[in-house]
C-alpha cells in the first residue's frame, strides 16, 4: 500500500472544506509513522548505513474508527518485526476500548439502544443498532486472528489457569481459562495464547500447549507455572525435556495446608522465603535440609511436604541472577488474572464458552499491545541455546 509524501492541504481545504479533515489527518499520521520507522531503523528509505537495525517492508492498511469517521492508515512494516508506530497508540486504545465495551455489554444482555447511548457517551462515536448486532461477529474474527497468529522464539514461558462460571445445558459449570505469556530473548513480554474449555484438565492443557507449538513457539529454556491438575503430564508430552520451575509464591501458599497450628504461619513463611532468596542452589538446599529437620517433630506433615515439594522451585538458580526475580513466580500472569477477574465478576455466569473466550481475549489482546509499546521486562544476557 502506498500513500503520497507531498500534499497541498490548502488546495484540498479550498475544494472540500471541512470534509477534507479526515484526509489531512490520514496524510499527517502516515508521514509521522514513516518518520518513526526511519528513526527505529536508523536509516531512511533505501539508505545504506552500517547503523541500520532492520529493513522496511512496505505498508499494511488499518482502519481506525475516530471522532471524524473511519480513516484507513498505511501502517509501516518492518521485515524483522518488533516495530509498531506510537502515532496510532491512542487510536488503537480507543478502538479496543470500544470493542471491549461492546463485548462486555453483549455478554450481559444489554439492549442495543443502551449500547448505542453508552458508546456515544464513552467514545464520542455514534453506533447504530445494526453496528451493535454485527459487533460480535466482527470482534470474533479479529480475536480469532490474534489468537492464531504465528509465534516465534520465547526464552521463558509462563502458563496459568483460572475458572469462570459457564452455563452449559441448563447447568452452571466451571470452565478453565488457560493463559500463556512469554519473554523473548530480547526481554520483551508477550501474551501468547488463551483457551476456554469445560474438558478434562489434562486434555485441555495438552491441546493448549500443542496449539502454541504448532503456531511456531520454540526456543523455550524454562516453563514457569503452578502445579495445576493435568498440566504436568501435558507439559511432559508436548515440551518434554524443557526444565520446569514451580511458582515459588504458590509453593509458599501451599505450605499453609500442612501447618499443625496457624500460629506457625509467619515463622514457616519466613523460613521458606529465606530458602528461595538464597544466593545460590547449594545454599538453598542447605537451608531446606535445616527446615526439614527443624519441623520433623513439631510439624511432621509439613517437614515431609517440604522435602517432597520445595525443590521444584529451585530451577531458577540455574539461570542468570538478573532474571531470577522475574522467572521465579507467575506473578506477571496473576496480575493479568486479577484484571480479568475484575471484568468478569460483573458478568457472573457466562451464557456459553464463546462469550467467555470473547471477553477474555479482548482484554488480553489489549494487554499484549500495551506491552509491545512498553519497556523491556527482563534485562541482562540470556543463556545460550
Q: Where are the domains of the chain?
A: 1-83, 248-329
pLDDT at position 385: 36
Q: Please say whether the beta carbons of 72 and 33 come within 8 A.
A: no
pLDDT at position 4: 44
pLDDT at position 277: 92
* Distance, CA of 5 to CA of 91 (rounded, Å): 22
* Distance, CA of 339 to CA of 296 (rounded, Å): 41
Q: Please say whether the beta carbons of 27 and 5 come within 8 A.
A: no
Per-residue pLDDT of the chain (385 residues; tens, 9 = 90+): 444 444 454 555 556 555 666 776 777 778 778 888 888 888 776 667 777 777 788 888 888 766 566 788 888 888 877 777 876 665 555 555 555 555 555 555 455 566 666 666 655 556 555 555 566 676 778 788 899 999 999 999 999 998 999 888 888 999 999 999 999 988 888 999 999 998 878 899 999 999 999 999 999 999 999 988 899 999 999 998 899 999 999 999 998 899 989 899 999 999 999 999 999 999 999 999 999 999 999 999 999 999 999 999 999 999 988 888 889 998 888 888 888 888 788 778 888 888 888 888 888 888 887 777 655 555 544 444 3
pLDDT at position 368: 84
- Cell numbers linked to 171: 447447568
Q: Count the neighbouring beta carbons within 10 Å of the beta carbon of residue 142.
A: 15
Residue-wise over 263-301: b if at least 16 C-beta within 10 A, else e? ebeeebeebbeebbebeeeeebbebbeebbebbeeebee
Instruction: For cell 501458599, name the residue.
Output: 253
Helix (H, G, I), strand (E, B) or coil at 225: strand
pLDDT at position 1: 45
* Distance, CA of 320 to CA of 51 (rounded, Å): 29
* Distance, CA of 358 to CA of 261 (rounded, Å): 44
pLDDT at position 95: 56
- Cell numbers linked to 204: 485441555
Helix (H, G, I), strand (E, B) or coil at 77: strand
Positive or negative, the CA dihedral 202, 208, 214, 220 is negative
Helix or strand (DSSP H, E) at 252: helix 248-254
Amino acid at each position: 500500500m502506498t500513500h503520497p509524501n507531498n500534499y497541498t492541504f490548502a488546495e484540498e481545504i479550498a475544494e472540500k472544506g471541512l470534509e477534507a479533515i479526515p484526509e489531512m489527518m490520514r496524510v499527517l499520521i502516515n508521514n509521522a509513522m514513516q518518520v518513526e520507522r526511519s528513526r527505529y531503523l536508523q536509516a531512511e528509505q533505501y539508505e545504506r548505513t552500517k547503523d541500520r537495525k532492520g529493513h522496511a517492508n512496505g505498508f499494511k492498511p488499518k482502519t481506525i474508527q475516530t471522532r471524524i469517521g473511519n480513516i484507513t492508515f498505511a501502517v509501516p512494516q518492518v521485515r524483522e518485526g518488533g516495530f509498531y508506530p506510537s502515532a496510532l497508540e491512542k487510536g488503537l486504545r480507543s478502538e479496543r476500548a470500544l470493542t471491549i465495551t461492546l463485548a462486555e455489554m453483549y455478554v450481559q444482555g444489554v439492549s442495543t439502544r443502551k449500547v448505542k447511548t453508552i458508546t456515544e457517551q464513552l467514545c464520542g462515536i455514534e453506533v447504530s443498532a445494526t453496528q451493535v448486532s454485527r459487533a460480535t461477529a466482527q470482534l470474533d474474527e479479529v480475536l480469532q486472528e490474534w489468537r492464531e497468529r504465528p509465534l516465534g522464539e520465547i526464552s521463558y514461558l509462563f502458563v496459568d489457569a483460572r475458572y469462570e462460571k459457564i452455563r452449559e445445558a441448563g447447568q452452571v459449570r466451571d470452565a478453565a481459562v488457560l493463559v500463556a505469556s512469554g519473554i523473548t530473548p530480547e526481554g520483551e513480554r508477550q501474551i501468547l495464547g488463551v483457551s476456554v474449555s469445560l474438558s478434562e484438565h489434562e486434555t485441555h492443557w495438552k491441546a493448549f500447549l500443542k496449539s502454541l507449538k504448532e503456531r511456531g513457539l520454540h526456543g523455550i529454556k524454562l516453563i514457569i507455572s503452578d502445579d495445576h491438575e493435568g498440566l504436568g503430564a501435558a507439559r511432559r508430552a508436548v515440551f518434554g525435556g524443557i526444565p520446569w520451575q514451580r511458582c515459588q509464591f504458590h509453593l509458599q501458599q501451599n505450605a499453609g495446608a500442612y501447618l499443625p497450628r496457624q500460629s506457625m504461619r509467619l515463622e514457616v513463611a519466613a523460613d521458606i522465603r529465606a530458602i528461595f532468596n538464597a544466593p545460590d542452589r547449594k545454599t538453598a538446599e542447605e537451608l531446606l535440609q535445616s527446615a526439614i529437620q527443624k519441623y520433623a517433630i513439631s510439624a511432621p506433615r509439613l517437614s515431609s511436604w517440604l522435602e517432597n515439594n520445595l525443590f521444584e522451585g529451585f530451577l531458577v538458580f540455574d539461570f542468570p541472577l538478573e532474571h531470577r526475580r522475574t522467572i521465579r513466580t507467575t506473578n506477571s500472569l496473576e496480575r493479568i488474572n486479577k484484571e480479568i477477574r475484575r471484568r468478569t465478576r460483573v458478568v457472573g455466569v457466562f451464557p456459553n464458552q464463546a462469550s467467555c473466550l470473547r471477553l477474555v481475549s479482548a482484554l488480553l489482546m489489549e494487554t499484549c499491545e500495551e506491552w509491545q509499546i512498553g519497556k523491556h521486562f527482563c534485562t541482562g544476557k540470556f543463556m545460550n541455546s
